[in-house]
C-alpha cells in the first residue's frame, strides 16, 4: 500500500523536525562546551571565571572574563532602567488609553522599530549619538557605555511593549467591569487592578528584554568604545561579552588559546541567556494561568 508508506515517511519527517529543535539547542551547547574545555586544559577555569584582566595577546595571555561580564551587566542595567519604565508606560497607553485607530498606528510604529537592523542603529550611534553625548557630558569620547545603553534600550522597546501589551490586554474583562462597577475611574482600574494582574506577563517582558539586550552584538561593538577594562563608569568606554567575540574572532588563529577563550565567553553568554529565557518562560506560564 503506497499511501501507507508515503504517510509513514512524511510523519517520520514531521516527528524528526520536532525533535531536531531539541538537537539544535543541545548541539549549540555541546560545541561551545567542547571548544571551551579545550581552553581549560591549558588555562585554569578559576582564572577565567574570576580573573580581572582580559589581555589575550600579552605574554602570557590573560583571559579573565570579569571585565567583559561587568561590561555586559553595566550596559544591560542602564538599558533596562531606561527602557522598562518607558516601555511599560507606552504599553499601558497603547492597551488602555489610546483610541483604536491611534492604537493601530502606534503598534505599527513599534513593529517598524523592531525591524530596523541593529547595524543601522549602530551606524547612527557612531555618527550622531556619540558626538551628542560627548558634547552633553563633556567627555573625551562619546563612544561609551551610555551610548550602548541608550541604543539597546531603544532596541529592547518593541519586545517590552508588545509582550506587556499582550499581558495587559489579557486581563479578564470582568476585572475591569467589577472595578468600574465600584465606581473606580479608568486610571484607578488600570493602576490598581489591571497592572497588578498583568505583573507576571510584564516581568516576562522585562526578562525577555534583558535577554535581548545581553545578546545584542553589533550595536555595542560599534558604539561602546571597545575597551576591555574593568568598567568604572557608564560614561567611559567598556566592552561586553558579545562585542569581544565579534571583535576578536577575526584576529585569532584557529585552535589557539585565544580562539578557545572566545568560545568560553560564548558559553558564559549562552548560560546567561538560557537562564533568563527559562525564567521568562516561567513567568509567561504563570501569566497564562
185 or 256: CB nearest another protein:
185
Long-range contacts of 137-141 (CB under 8 A, 24+ apart): 137/235, 139/235, 141/225, 141/237
Closest CB to another protein among 102 and 233?
102
Please list every residue from 199 through 218 that binds another protein, using CB under 8 A. 208, 211, 214-218
Q: Which three cell numbers stand for residue 209?
A: 528584554
| Interacting residues with another protein between 50 and 89 (CB under 8 A) | 85-87, 89
Rounded (10°) angle between helices 199-215 and 257-288: 170
| Helix H or strand E segment including 268 | helix 257-288
DSSP state of 225: B
Closest CA to 197 of 165, 166, 177, 167: 167
Q: Which of 69, 146, 156, 157 binds another protein (CB under 8 A)?
A: 157
Exactly one of 25, 49, 132, 178 binds another protein (CB under 8 A); that residue is 25
Please list the residues that pair with 238 across neighbouring strands: 225
Scanning 62-70, 105-113, 169-177, 193-201 for contacts with another protein by CB under 8 A, the matching segment is 105-113
55: CB partners within 8 A, 6+ apart: 61, 62
Question: Least distance from C-beta 59 to another protein, angstroms?
Answer: 25
Q: Does residue 93 touch another protein according to CB under 8 A?
A: yes
Smallest gap from residue 45 Cβ to another protein (A): 19
Task: With CB under 8 A as the rule, give the number of residues binding another protein.
Answer: 82
Q: Which three cell numbers stand for residue 243?
A: 562585542
DSSP conformational letter for 140: S
Residues 116-145 that bind another protein (CB under 8 A): 116-124, 126-128
Please report how close the Cβ of residue 77 comes to another protein at its closest, in angstroms.
Answer: 18
Closest approach of another protein to the CB of residue 279, in Å: 11
Amino acid at each position: 500500500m503506497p499511501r501507507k508508506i508515503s504517510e509513514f515517511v512524511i510523519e517520520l519527517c514531521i516527528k524528526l523536525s520536532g525533535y531536531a529543535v531539541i538537537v539544535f539547542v543541545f548541539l549549540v551547547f555541546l560545541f561551545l562546551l567542547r571548544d571551551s574545555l579545550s581552553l581549560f586544559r591549558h588555562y585554569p577555569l578559576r582564572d577565567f571565571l574570576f580573573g580581572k584582566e582580559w589581555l589575550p595577546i600579552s605574554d602570557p595571555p590573560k583571559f579573565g572574563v570579569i571585565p567583559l561580564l561587568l561590561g555586559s551587566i553595566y550596559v544591560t542595567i542602564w538599558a533596562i532602567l531606561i527602557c522598562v519604565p518607558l516601555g511599560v508606560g507606552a504599553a499601558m497607553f497603547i492597551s488602555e488609553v489610546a483610541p483604536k485607530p491611534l492604537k493601530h498606528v502606534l503598534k505599527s510604529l513599534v513593529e517598524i522599530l523592531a525591524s530596523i537592523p541593529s547595524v543601522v542603529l549602530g551606524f547612527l550611534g557612531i555618527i550622531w549619538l556619540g558626538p551628542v553625548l560627548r558634547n552633553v557630558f563633556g567627555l573625551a569620547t562619546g563612544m561609551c557605555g551610555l551610548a550602548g545603553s541608550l541604543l539597546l534600550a531603544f532596541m529592547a522597546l518593541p519586545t517590552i511593549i508588545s509582550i506587556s501589551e499582550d499581558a495587559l490586554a489579557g486581563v479578564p474583562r470582568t476585572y475591569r467591569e467589577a472595578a468600574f462597577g465600584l465606581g473606580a475611574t479608568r486610571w484607578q482600574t488600570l493602576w490598581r487592578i489591571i497592572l497588578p494582574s498583568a505583573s507576571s506577563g510584564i516581568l516576562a517582558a522585562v526578562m525577555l528584554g534583558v535577554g535581548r539586550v545581553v545578546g545584542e552584538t553589533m550595536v555595542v561593538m560599534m558604539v561602546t568604545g571597545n575597551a576591555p577594562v574593568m568598567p568604572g563608569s557608564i560614561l567611559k568606554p567598556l566592552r561586553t561579552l558579545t562585542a569581544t567575540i565579534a571583535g576578536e574572532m577575526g584576529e585569532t588563529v584557529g585552535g589557539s588559546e585565544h580562539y578557545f577563550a572566545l568560545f568560553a565567553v560564548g558559553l558564559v553568554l549562552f548560560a546567561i541567556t538560557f537562564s533568563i529565557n527559562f525564567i521568562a518562560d516561567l513567568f509567561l506560564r504563570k501569566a497564562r494561568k
